[in-house]
Amino acid sequence: MAYAAQLGALTEELIEAATGISSKTRTRRYKVLYNATLQKIKSQAYLRTNQFDVWHTLDGLEERFRVNNRDDLADEFRDSLDRLEEHATKWHPEILALLLGLSDQPTFKTKLSDLDVVRQREEEQAETFSWEDVAREDGWAEDEGLWQSIDYGLDSDDEVIEEAPDDETLIDVPVYHTYDEDLSLHKKGRTATDCIIQPEDTELLKALQAAQQWRTEVPQKDDIGTVQKISIPETHIVREILSMLQGLKTSLFNENTGLPEPNFHMQHIAWETYKSVIHNIAESGWRILLLRRFVSHPQAIPHLQAFQDCIAKRLRDFDTKLSQIEARFAAPTSEVMFTLLSVHGEISPWLQPLLVLSNIIAQIQETSRSDTFRYLELLYDETTLAQLKDDMSTYKFLAQIFLDCFQVYIRPIRHWMDEGRISSENEIFFIFESPTKVPMSNIWQDRFKLRQTAEGTLHAPKFLKPAAHQIYNAGKNIVVLRLLGQYELGSSFPVEEPSLDFEHVCPEGLGLATFPDLFGAAFNRWIQSKYRKTSTTLKDTLFEMCELSSSLDALQALYLMSDGFAAASFTDHLFDKLENLNPVWYDRFALAGTAQDAFMPLVDISRLSVSVSVQGTRMTVTDARGSIRAALPHLKIDYRLAWPVQIVVSEESMRNYQSIFTLLLQLRRAIHVLHKPKLLDNYTTDNENWDERVLFYAARRNLLWFCTTLQSYLATLVLEPNERGMRRELMAAEDVDSMISVHATYLEQMIEQACLGNKMALIRERMLDILDLALKLELAREGKAARDGSEPSHLFRQEDESSEGVVREDGLDTEAYIRVLEEIKAEFDEHLSFICSGLKGAARASSDTQSAKWDILADMLRAGDNRSRR
């Protein structure tokens, strides 16, 4: 009941504080609010904060400080927690949990100097004395005359006025002392007359009023109604100009437009001359005022704050120089003579750089672009232009501002390149992290992206774009190394970065070098100090720890069939299944087992699998056996690479590997079929059917020669040289992107040189037609053998079940057999002629490296053509 009563009282207090309705009114609305609030409080499901979780989180935060090399911060954090435990309350877990929830990267953003400010404030508060303390120590309460009013009359403080008594009558004259009580004055207090100060130098005051009378003087009109201008001494105009340039209000210049007031004119000078000079100065002052207004508006972006600070610092220097001129004229140490033109000439060199800055601010405010780095581009351009004009003072002035602001702009770049991290709230950095989770193998390509503008350009200053790629890769190097366990924050790459201040970027002795060249060289040194070490480390890690070389060896053995014995062991087993019309030739477990047995000494067989696509499994075995285009393209070899290796070997590269493997498999299929008949088996019967045997052996010889020539070309001129060059350039690559590019480039060269590219599609189809002729030749031979009864005919009859009539059930007679052989010869000659002429034409039309290889292949194919020798 006590708890319920306490809860009710707290609820009443809450309602009164939130709505202003007193609990004493007890209106209907109050009762509704009271019941609803009380019910809500009683039914809330939020329990007290778990204090053990809070302390565990605090301990983890301390450990994180130490892991990130912030031992000093960890020590202060532990001392603060220990002091807090001495004054523990029941609400400490809630308070600490709230602070933990509000914290934002305390490891990187906390500064120990902030604690010094807190301690200093505490010390100041501890040393502060109040007036009550002073009154108590000095005993003001006992001093009755302390608060009495004092009569500041004409009487002297120490004078006591007494009237000498008359001889006849003694008159009592009151005695006044400055510290005597005056009850009437104490009651009324001091009056205005008591505060009047009599002027001592009225002549000087009148002279000042006369000199400044022009400020309030009303212009007069002459006899014809023309307004007469008010003449002003030159000294007053100079003073007004100096005040205006310092951002102060003046009478000579309009506050809203900055233009000089037309009613004033300088004494003893022509109006046109005065007008030209004063308008020129007024325009400069208005542009300086633009800088002052820009500085007065707070900015939230750090590099814009740095730009404001640089402008404010230069304005202070400018104001100091103006004040020195005023001091020289106001309190001269010797005879001083000055004119408006001389003062203008003296301040012009100081004005020129500030006017350039004002133009930059004006361009930023006039454009609709929202790029916060636009001023950096303008500073960069103006600095370069000032150097080209040989205006070295302005060049140095602008270059220093540019470099000061740029060093603030590159803070997120430094954070990215040093730690591989990006703040999610940073919308001005040109690199951002993808909001969706990506696979580990795609982390290099897809996890981080370059921010693009609406026009499709990089969201970065134009002078930074040449180095953006290395900046982008440097952070990704850190990310990958961290995932591989090869990077520890703050300790792995302690490299001192080159300075980017003016003295280091533009050193003496290089005056002939342009600013873009000097800045580009200095910034490149800055990038390389962070980029080269991480790139080399990641490259070595990929080769050594991730075994990139052994993975490439496995790909070469599997897809490029570099080991002929292992490749033959796998392919011959597959081809035998097709020849024997095995209906489950596509069984992926059997195929995988065969491949693992064949390639066991060369690859990690646990990563190897073989499969046939659904389309390949749906065709009949006779269709699969009848053409190299039917089943073989559907057979896929899959070798699962480690995710770091997949960074270099992309999915596109794996598709190219598969294309080369399919071509080699089709070529081996044709050679396997051509080697199936044995010459000695028909040695005794060749003389009986010599005409048909000559045609058969001629066709077989042409097809076998074509297949072996193409195989030799691929092995010796395409695959092996490109593989060797790829390994060599991979070892010499500077970074991961170069490795990816090298690997992809060499694979594309293999594809083009092997006639697998799009522009060689017609030639490739003719090559496959010739390979299909090998299967057609073997099919005809089997049909003739089935007719003669020299071989079992069940294979032939099974083939006939789905054939298109080329081979009949009872085989081929001699006439049909000879007709098929003649067709094979004619088709071979036609295809070969087309291939050779096409290769020659493609070689002449292209200037690429592979064009020479096409020309060589054409010569190799023509060398074995009997017609060419005749």
Q: Express each pLDDT in 114-128 by its tens digit.
A: 777 777 766 666 556
Residue 308 CA to residue 362 CA, distance in Å, equals 14
Q: Pick the residue with more confidence: 382 or 530?
A: 382
Residues 6+ apart with CB under 8 A from 193: none
Do 478 and 607 reside in the same domain of the chain?
Answer: no
Q: Among all chains, which residue has been given the structure tokens 């200095």?
A: 522
Give the per-residue pLDDT at 770. Answer: 92
Is 6 part of a structural domain of the chain?
Answer: yes
Is 529 part of a structural domain of the chain?
Answer: no
Do 693 and 800 reside in the same domain of the chain?
Answer: yes
Residues 6+ apart with CB under 8 A from 665: 571, 632, 635
Q: Among all chains, which residue has been given the structure tokens 């400044």?
A: 212
Is pLDDT above 70 for 646?
Answer: yes
User: For the residues 748-767, what does the mean pLDDT come to?
Assistant: 91
* Neighbour tally for 312: CB within 10 Å: 15
CATH number for the domain harbouring residue 660: 1.20.120.1900
Is 206 part of a structural domain of the chain?
Answer: no
Do 511 and 366 reside in the same domain of the chain?
Answer: no
Q: What is the pLDDT of residues 171-208, one digit of tens each?
A: 344 444 444 444 444 445 567 777 777 767 777 777 77
Q: In DSSP terms, which residues pair with 635 in a beta bridge?
A: 612
Do 383 and 429 reside in the same domain of the chain?
Answer: no
Is pLDDT above 90 for 336?
Answer: no
Max avg pLDDT among 479-493, 592-606, 851-865: 592-606
User: For the residues 295-312, what does the mean pLDDT come to?
Assistant: 88
Using alpha carbons, select from 242, 423, 429, 253 the residue that is nearest to residue 340: 242
Do 755 and 862 reside in the same domain of the chain?
Answer: yes
Give the per-residue pLDDT at 380. Answer: 92
User: For the residues 255-274, what does the mean pLDDT come to?
Assistant: 79
Q: In DSSP terms, which residues pair with 232 in a beta bridge?
A: 266
Single-letter amino acid, residue 565: F
User: For the residues 481-493, what does the mean pLDDT come to?
Assistant: 71
Q: What is the pLDDT of residues 499-526, one digit of tens each?
A: 888 888 888 888 788 999 999 999 999 9
Do 641 and 716 reside in the same domain of the chain?
Answer: yes
Residue 474 CA to residue 467 CA, distance in Å, equals 11
Give the per-residue pLDDT at 46. Answer: 57
Contact 598, 561 (CB under 8 A): no
Helices (H), 28-165: 28-42, 51-67, 71-85, 92-102, 106-109, 112-127, 131-138
> Can you give the residue range of the structural domain that contains 173?
147-189
Least trusted range by pLDDT, from 45-54, 164-173, 281-290, 297-306:
164-173
Q: What is the pLDDT of residues 546-562, one digit of tens each?
A: 889 999 999 999 999 99
Using alpha carbons, select from 301, 496, 519 the residue that is nearest to residue 418: 496
In the 8-state DSSP scheme, what is residue 681? G
User: For the residues 615-635, what does the mean pLDDT come to?
Assistant: 88
**Reported confidence tier of residue 370, pLDDT bands at 50, 70, 90:** low
Is 320 part of a structural domain of the chain?
Answer: yes
Q: What is the pLDDT of residues 22-67, one digit of tens each?
A: 777 777 778 878 888 877 777 665 567 778 888 888 888 888 888 7
Give the per-residue pLDDT at 560. Answer: 93
Do 316 and 426 reside in the same domain of the chain?
Answer: no
Give the per-residue pLDDT at 777. Answer: 86
The tokens of 700 are what?
A: 């077989």
Is 133 part of a structural domain of the chain?
Answer: no
Q: Pick the residue with more confidence: 553 or 785?
A: 553
Do 614 and 730 reside in the same domain of the chain?
Answer: yes
Give the per-residue pLDDT at 173. Answer: 41
Give the per-residue pLDDT at 783. Answer: 74
Give the orientation angle of helix 340-366 with respect to helix 271-296, to 10 degrees: 50
For strands 264-266 and 230-232, give the pairing.
parallel
Residue 273 CA to residue 281 CA, distance in Å, equals 13
Give the per-residue pLDDT at 151. Answer: 57
**Reported confidence tier of residue 8, pLDDT bands at 50, 70, 90:** confident
Does the predicted TM-score (pTM) go above 0.75? Answer: no
Q: In DSSP terms, which residues pair with 610 in a beta bridge?
A: 637
Do 185 and 281 reside in the same domain of the chain?
Answer: no
Is pLDDT above 80 for 853?
Answer: yes
Is pLDDT above 80 for 103?
Answer: yes
Do 430 and 317 reside in the same domain of the chain?
Answer: no
Is pLDDT above 90 for 740?
Answer: yes
Residue 273 CA to residue 734 CA, distance in Å, equals 67
User: For the residues 399-428, what does the mean pLDDT come to?
Assistant: 84
Do 611 and 740 reside in the same domain of the chain?
Answer: yes
Is pLDDT above 60 for 840?
Answer: yes
In the 8-state DSSP scheme, what is residue 608? E
Is 185 part of a structural domain of the chain?
Answer: yes
Domain count, the chain: 5
Give the per-residue pLDDT at 834. Answer: 92
Residue 744 CA to residue 647 CA, distance in Å, equals 11
Do 376 and 468 reside in the same domain of the chain?
Answer: no
Least trusted range by pLDDT, from 256-260, 417-421, 761-765:
256-260
User: For the residues 753-779, what does the mean pLDDT come to?
Assistant: 90
Give the orientation angle of helix 548-559 with respect to helix 651-674, to 10 degrees: 40
Using alpha carbons, select from 783, 776, 791 the residue that is nearest to residue 827: 776
Is 513 part of a structural domain of the chain?
Answer: yes
Is 556 part of a structural domain of the chain?
Answer: yes
Residues 6+ apart with CB under 8 A from 597: 569
Q: Among all chains, which residue has been given the structure tokens 């087309």?
A: 834
User: For the residues 148-158, what does the mean pLDDT come to?
Assistant: 53
**Reported confidence tier of residue 339, pLDDT bands at 50, 70, 90:** confident
Contact 858, 836 (CB under 8 A): yes
Contact 11, 17 (CB under 8 A): no
